[in-house]
Structure 1
């Protein structure tokens, strides 16, 4: 690089360099050529067809690239006008007469490595990708017309490791575009004198150079927590991977970032982590206005190799540039060296030490989840963003800082999937000894089934061939009509899983924040539909900002209980805690709790009881109480306790004559609501709700068992009884059927069904990628499913209230299950309880199925109900199934012969061949 004439992207805005400017936005000539020095060094001689392009923009947005050859791509969205290589952009410029003898600078706000020519002479080159590029034009460039050429190359100019890893380049999201975006200007540098090529001897402009908004005043770390404006704060963050589906490149305008970050704020987010990239100036301006803390990262995900001098020099320069260019923004408080790094820890510390000298008002960490957390906390780290703090023994969770993992990372996929549902779990054991702030890394990653109605939104440079492939797969499996229900059921369940994971963080005394992955879908890495919003940051229809903020707000009331399911006369003992990071004392305010029927369970199905309750003016709620807050502490507050005896009767109903009647209402879903208020309840600012269930104590289960034939195997004796008119409940055991946790299905020697494993939560991130990783590491592969789909009105659920989707009461039934693969059955056959498969396999899976067989009736349940019956909800489900089978409502619509049933169970299901999909991180 010729330092005598290149200004090295140094954030000179704050030095008043932009007294005057001329925009170069508009129409340019463009020539496409191969990467290489020959194209870059050529001067005005044309090497190819000259086309027209609008800048700011890219080859993609100008529709000048090449049409895709592969329309079966499912790893990510597909570029419709892809181009990789060198592109020469040229036009005539006119330097005003009054700029005579004044330094003139070419300003390119964001681009790829460039080579700049004026009148055929090379000015210099620059490979800054995280910040603007600035070229000081030669003094011989006088006022008047000149020919400007800018060669942009997205195929060379940066270290090889950056391509495909950094979200500044990856095709997974932003794409490896070629172009110039943002401001393109000639600027008059009139207020500063500088020695040609010299780097100003100064530190980054401090954030105090701007008026400091309240949210960022005195931002600092004390012990395990962050503080700002005199109060402890909690970072409610999201991961950002530069997902802009219409343009294929990052938004460069303040208005666009106000919309994006405004949506984040609507959902309670106050912090954004930029995974292996740095956003542009507009993002910091918007964040300053909205009060959102930003954490940019170096554009890297890989090995920090001190021997790779080119890579280290590039990353170090990028870090300096980021700090000098954006460091004056109040929202820029934190910085990381990249994503899930490994390599030389001493070199990481060296980088942090150097950056701290440049910008001492920032806080640094070596890398988000470096070494996947196994190396723990090291000297030089101000805070630690991680999924674990040091290593743990397989099957242990004591070092974890989030509730969900892949099966390659943690036994059984982590705590939420493994333990019986509760709201007592937290990460105290991992965080208490940390001594510095801990931020939960990439929390969540709960998949939802895609919404194919989203396809029509892709009207820009990226096409969702991945969606179309997945939709065709579902159609081939005979389930396309269920696509919307799959999306809704998996999505509603994922929201509850996210709530659980977030609240585990909030219940941890010394947790400083979380960075969700994500409220937004991630269109790459095999297509990871993990968001509560789609890739456009628009609603999927599975939650609302108001609901989400119940557990993602500055102040969150929390119910702490060891279970959610009870039998009548059980006593619920629960604590009320508050995560108080709102910057104000809650002392003297009240927490009111209310227990009532869930909205969809307000009155029982039985019309006579419903009429009685309505006539007798059923009081609401079932139970309530209030507790005064007696502390002015911030952070984690223990408020008080709820003790309540659970009932299945509506007590205290006045019959109009002063008498009190008890009306039997049976097993019900309940809602426990918490409100924090001052004075009138109408002034409530913070509330939260929890699903609970109360069941009648099973009294008839032993009797009901005798009324049907319960079989673990379809023996000849069982088959004879069935065909002669018996009601048969078939409960295949693990010893009588094959269990396959992936798509490689085979059968056992002594039975015929083909199955997958039982997974309670929705599958983590992406089935294809973590199947590859598990197999390469000889770990059990996740069952890969996305929750259940059922009809709540089905009479089998009379004693087991449910929604259409999984909820906490299903845990013992699902965990002890092995859903049956039904690919060989009639295309239009639907199980009573269906299990939603992932986008790769698309098996039709059944948890509960029923058929008429001969003169008899067969119900198959693929759960070990004897084991599930250890829990109230398991007993309730078992009794509800038996009660249904004994009733006149047990009348299956589908018929099948025993020979046909055996044949279909014995046939090998449709096989799916998955290509390997590896992660960059080392496992």
Structure 2
């Protein structure tokens, strides 16, 4: 009705996922109702209620399982624009009539689509729509998903050009307010990482593993890394996917104009990209959780019928003691009953302490409401060291809850710079942070035990060769390198961090998270040529075609030690950057800096030096 969906008379939010017909063991859809029911039950546990079958239609056993699981289906004619992907005659009206004859008995069959991202032409598009509405008026119809949908050929929009903004990635609020029909985000998010090669032994059927363990391990050896670093980067990629899954779906549900999304995709499609294969799915190709990624229960927290959402001030997840923070809580409510005198309880906790807590005033909500219900205010308390905290909000008396991460830092105390020197190009920036620091090359710098310099600065390298401890701050310009590509692969696939004294009390958990989002840029490409010395890595990331080191330590032929960063913005005016540089300086001045390189712990595992 109008610009909203209704199911059984109640407002309906379409929580859809994309299915690209992925069956690694059988190649084709198995004629096994129970197998399909197992998979669809997992989708339901993750909160999904709708599936789009990209340019294909499933077999009857799938529809039977969907009827039982409660998943609505959008089968799709096999057309890209007006092109048939196989060598059959172009006749979409015939094809949609055949679809109707064979599948109309299934209650899960919810919507028609004539294909993907295009236009069959006019007046054919209107003729097909009119046939569908006259013959089967209870089902929805769109012309093509992400295609040229109009009021004359569709019941709803899936915006992707054709005079509309795109909905494949999070959009600016208000972008679709003027639409007069419901809209569903098309192929939404599509978070590009690499397929996990550790699954290779599982490919025992019709499809060979797209990535082999042998090739994976060879790529690590070529970069000078071991399996522990490689596996940690894979797990970190899954965790980064999980962060953007949550952020993206929450952002869509914060827009009252949005009527649903087709999350792309439920399982890895494993398409070739840049000499490898993608793993953009929520689950792996076998419908299993990804190591380091979200579970279906965690996914449902932001993908259920009713979801608690937030808008925060400041927007960054990093704050300092004394900062005032506000979390405005919203609810997207599409459950079966209205809410009456409901309450939200909230807490802000670390692993050991409750920093703040409260309750919002009771409120009422009708089915289909999406709105703010109140704000939670707190001040970051005085802290002895940085800490990770979780803000959690729960709908009282239910299992509906959501949570968001924060990282809090104490106010920075003055840190003196006596005993340290900086190269001339960094002196102005560093001497304000470290009063008493000397400029390298002056008499005051003669007694400095630690020298901090820019990338390959001759004076730093000379001082290090003569036995002084050194920190080399490499380039860290440009935009943060923390986002994942849409289908494509960028130079951020996943980044892992060791448990090591170089980080001091920096509250990281071993993987790239918003704690690092203002710091991480583009790292040092690996491998490092052996003639440059021996290196121990403390932060390693995977990119499109190679691995990168962000923080490492070099041991020279005569025992000289040089701590090196590249692509870590330690000079930015951020509390996390300032604290991390302080921690690195403390480490470089400590006995641990001179200790013999040993195994480093990465996400619970040990990596060889």
Question: Following superposition of structure 1 onto structure 2, how do residues 13-24 of structure 1 map, counting pairs within 5 Å?
Answer: none
Shift of 1:453: 3.4
Deviations 1:350-386 (A, max 9, x none): 332333233222211121112xxxx675533211123
For 1:538, which of 288, 308, 321 is the aligned residue? Answer: 288
Greater Cα shift, 462-471 or 493-502: 462-471
* 2:488 is equivalent to residue 785 of structure 1: no
Contact 1:427 1:508 in 2 (8 A): no
Residue 2 of structure 2 corresponds to 223
* Separation in 1, partners of 2:408, 2:157: 42
Deviations 1:403-462 (A, max 9, x none): 3xxxxxxxxxxx6xxxxxxxxxx6432221112111111222223444333222222222
* Separation in 2, partners of 1:823, 1:304: 46
Shift of 1:573: 1.2
Larger Rg: 1
* 2:504 is equivalent to residue 798 of structure 1: yes
Residue 239 of structure 1 corresponds to 18
* Separation in 2, partners of 1:704, 1:864: 23
TM-score normalised by the chain length of structure 1: 0.57
* 2:106 is equivalent to residue 325 of structure 1: no
Q: CA, structure 1 residues 473+450, in 2 after alignment: closer, same or farther (shift >3 Å)?
A: farther
* 2:186 is equivalent to residue 441 of structure 1: yes
* Separation in 1, partners of 2:13, 2:525: 45
Contact 2:307 2:402 in 1 (8 A): yes
Deviations 1:157-179 (A, max 9, x none): xxxxxxxxxxxxxxxxxxxxxxx
Shift of 1:243: 0.9
Larger RCO: Structure 1 or Structure 2 (Cα < 8 Å, ≥ 6 residues apart)? 2
Q: CA, structure 1 residues 389+492, in 2 after alignment: closer, same or farther (shift >3 Å)?
A: farther
For 1:822, which of 526, 537, 540 is the aligned residue? Answer: 526
For 1:729, which of 471, 494, 508 is the aligned residue? Answer: 471
> Which secondary structure does the structure 1 equivalent of 2:363 belong to?
coil
* Separation in 2, partners of 1:465, 1:787: 19
* Separation in 1, partners of 2:227, 2:184: 41
* 2:515 is equivalent to residue 809 of structure 1: yes
* Separation in 1, partners of 2:199, 2:60: 30
* 2:553 is equivalent to residue 850 of structure 1: yes
* Separation in 1, partners of 2:39, 2:435: 57
Question: Following superposition of structure 1 onto structure 2, how do residues 182-201 of structure 1 map, counting pairs within 5 Å?
Answer: none
Q: CA, structure 1 residues 473+437, in 2 after alignment: closer, same or farther (shift >3 Å)?
A: farther
Q: CA, structure 1 residues 402+648, in 2 after alignment: closer, same or farther (shift >3 Å)?
A: farther
Residue 426 of structure 2 corresponds to none
Contact 1:857 1:892 in 2 (8 A): no
For 2:373, which of 639, 663, 669 is the aligned residue? Answer: 639
Residue 591 of structure 2 corresponds to 888
Residue 427 of structure 2 corresponds to none
* 2:406 is equivalent to residue 692 of structure 1: yes
Shift of 1:485: 1.9
* Separation in 2, partners of 1:887, 1:387: 56
For 2:71, which of 289, 292, 305 is the aligned residue? Answer: 292
Shift of 1:262: 1.1
Shift of 1:468: 4.7
Residue 586 of structure 1 corresponds to 339
* Separation in 2, partners of 1:255, 1:459: 21
Shift of 1:271: 0.6
Residue 652 of structure 1 corresponds to none
Q: CA, structure 1 residues 470+357, in 2 after alignment: closer, same or farther (shift >3 Å)?
A: farther
Contact 1:388 1:430 in 2 (8 A): no
Contact 2:306 2:333 in 1 (8 A): yes
Backbone CA RMSD of aligned residues: 2.9
* Paired positions, count: 557
* 2:579 is equivalent to residue 876 of structure 1: yes
Q: CA, structure 1 residues 832+262, in 2 after alignment: closer, same or farther (shift >3 Å)?
A: same
* Separation in 2, partners of 1:759, 1:887: 31
Residue 429 of structure 2 corresponds to none
* Separation in 2, partners of 1:849, 1:459: 40
Deviations 1:448-501 (A, max 9, x none): 444333222222222215335642542542445133322211111211111111
* Separation in 1, partners of 2:504, 2:56: 53
Contact 1:303 1:341 in 2 (8 A): yes
Q: CA, structure 1 residues 831+476, in 2 after alignment: closer, same or farther (shift >3 Å)?
A: closer
Deviations 1:756-808 (A, max 9, x none): x95202344243xxxxxxxxxxxxxx4x33121111x3223224211111101
> Which secondary structure does the structure 2 equivalent of 1:536 belong to?
coil
* Separation in 2, partners of 1:427, 1:583: 30
For 2:434, which of 703, 707, 713 is the aligned residue? Answer: 703
> Which secondary structure does the structure 1 equivalent of 2:335 belong to?
coil
Q: CA, structure 1 residues 309+454, in 2 after alignment: closer, same or farther (shift >3 Å)?
A: closer
Contact 1:389 1:430 in 2 (8 A): no
Deviations 1:491-526 (A, max 9, x none): 112111111111111111111111111231113344
* 2:344 is equivalent to residue 625 of structure 1: no
For 2:241, which of 483, 491, 494 is the aligned residue? Answer: 494
For 2:307, which of 526, 543, 556 is the aligned residue? Answer: 556
